Structure 1
Amino acid sequence: MSEINRELGERPALEWIGVDQIDVDGNYQREIKAHLVDKILRRFSWAKFGAVVLSRQSNGRFSVVEGQHRWKAACLHPDIEQVPAVVVNHKDLAGEAESFLAINRDRMAVTSVEQYWAGLTAGDDNAEAISKVLQSAGCDVVPAQGHYRPNLTNSIGAIDRCLKRYGAGATRRALLVIRAAWPDDAKSLRGTLITALARIIRANEKAVTDADLVSAIRPQSLAKLTAHAEAFRKLSGGSAETALTKAIAELYNKGRRTNFIYIGEAR
């Protein structure tokens, strides 16, 4: 164990502070993001709020060190006048900024995989929808970041977007195509590939068969397919997802006389 700091400093106070007594110092605080405030406000609950960290000022007011989005949401809530706070006495602005850095720098970010499993346990609608489509295709989410195995994915955000853009049917078919094409590849269920296939399937539901898609991409290793897509991207720009969609469409169309597919539609 590394050496432990024994200079603990002054013990903070635990208090309820009026929301109108709190200010945000723009010298070190980040800009408040309205969409985050709105998200907290729509789901406001004391059980989820925690305590904000404040610095006591010489004029009797307080500055937010950590928790400005939660404080702002509390300000906008019609039933809230005070928030729970850990109140620290800092010598100066530099001390406040140092605390802000330490709190945010040393905090371990919650990964999308951890958010998914927590959401599933809590009955979150998005997590349950993701689980349902994955299970229907014989897939699942990795138990933890970096624990890759065939038919497991960590592409939580991509699957969520696919469900909202292209629907459960196209997303499920995309997962099944990938499983059939590369059943032993532990990293094949990546977000860009799931999205590209779901996009093609949704736009060409009747013209494209899963078997034909598998036949088109199976001869390619995932690395070759990605390199092919990157060549498209260098020529015409656009996102990695769009480039991969173009690469798959080209492979699918090769040698065909009918039922050509393009990014938007079959012709």
Structure 2
Amino acid sequence: MNTTTTTRPAPYIAALAVSELFVDHSYQRPLDLPRARRLAESWEPPLIGVIEVSDRGSDQQPRYAIVDGQHRYAAAKLRDPKAVLVANIHTGLTPRDEAHLFYEIDAKRTRLTGWDRWNARRGAGDPTVLAVESVVEDAGLRVEDSPTNGSVRCVSTCEKVLKLGGQPLLRETLSLITEVWGVEVEAFDAPLVHGTALVLWHYGKTINVERLADAMVDVSPRQFKAKAVALREYERGSLPKLAALVIVNTYNRTKGPKLDKPKDFTKRSPQAGVRRPASLAAAS
């Protein structure tokens, strides 16, 4: 029996104008335009790398089908319609071959984890990362991907809290949690940290933090999370929002003025104001 092995020429590197490139949507994923715009705004040539293309032949214009790199291509076009990209050019491929190559590249690509990105940003001196880690360390905690007491792993959540209310909100959130549960690792679960921050942010000075701490101490972090998950049956929203509602419910069961439940915790209550730290309030 005769067998035939198809040997294709090895790919080669060349610079191609974006006008020579196109995307075959019969196998390519849809373009994420916001992603392309972000890439265009933060464009750094050394980080763009080499795109993978297939030469469809001189009788087709545009000539080169993008196999890998359509968002870099779109970003380059947004920046400059006459831009040039470095490409690894494959020849002798059918559209089916291109689709297979696209799959192989995507499947074998090593994707960065959230921690990989965080560590890289730390190394680059990212001010947001440094701000988060400064607050965490001041609270007597550690930023690390380890399920041990004293470790804060929810760095993405911490970044959201920082964006919402700056270092003061993150500091107050971690201070409250450590006052209630110490350095127990489950206390720093993302939904609970985020939910606590949402409550502190929305109600501001209208909430009695000492009363809140006394209310929360009787419920374990695991119970808070379980109640938030169970609340999905009756309430709509993200897990952090549901955790915030559970915290409010817990607070309202104690003696004293009750809190109204907002539709959006990220919007401050008109009476929120700016609450002074308890130490300053006691000194006045």
Tell me if TM exceeds 0.5: yes
Partner of 2:75: 73
Amino acid across the alignment from 1:31:
P
Q: 2:8·2:91 contact (CA, 8 Å) conserved in 1?
A: no
1:156 Cα deviation from its structure 2 partner: 2.5
1:182 Cα deviation from its structure 2 partner: 2.5
- What's the TM-score once normalised by structure 2's chain length? 0.82
Deviations 1:34-75, CA, capped at 9 Å, x for gaps: 111111111112111111111111236111111111111112
Q: Which residues of structure 2 form unaligned runs of 5+?
A: 1-5, 263-268, 273-284
Distance 1:195 1:222 in 2: 13
Deviations 1:141-173, CA, capped at 9 Å, x for gaps: 22x4xx222232232222222222233222221
Written as runs of structure 1 = structure 2, the 5 A alignment for 1:35-46 is 35-46=34-45
C-alpha root-mean-square deviation of aligned residues, in Å? 2.4
Q: 1:24·1:63 contact (CA, 8 Å) conserved in 2?
A: yes
Partner of 1:4: none
Amino acid across the alignment from 1:188:
A
Q: 1:200·1:263 contact (CA, 8 Å) conserved in 2?
A: no
How many residue pairs get aligned? The number is 257
Secondary structure (helix, strand or coil) at the match of 1:235 reads coil
Partner of 1:3: none
1:90 Cα deviation from its structure 2 partner: 4.3
Secondary structure (helix, strand or coil) at the match of 2:13 reads strand
Deviates more, 1:148-157 or 1:116-125: 148-157
Amino acid across the alignment from 2:27:
Y
Partner of 1:58: 57
Written as runs of structure 1 = structure 2, the 5 A alignment for 1:17-166 is 17-59=16-58, 61-78=63-80, 81-142=83-144, 144=145, 147-166=146-165
Identity of aligned residues (%): 22
Distance 2:253 2:7 in 1: 69
Distance 1:130 1:80 in 2: 41
Distance 2:138 2:233 in 1: 36
- What's the TM-score once normalised by structure 1's chain length? 0.86
Amino acid across the alignment from 2:99:
A
Distance 1:237 1:77 in 2: 40
Q: 2:187·2:221 contact (CA, 8 Å) conserved in 1?
A: yes
Distance 2:208 2:166 in 1: 17
Q: Which residues of structure 1 form unaligned runs of 5+?
A: 1-6
1:8 Cα deviation from its structure 2 partner: 9.4
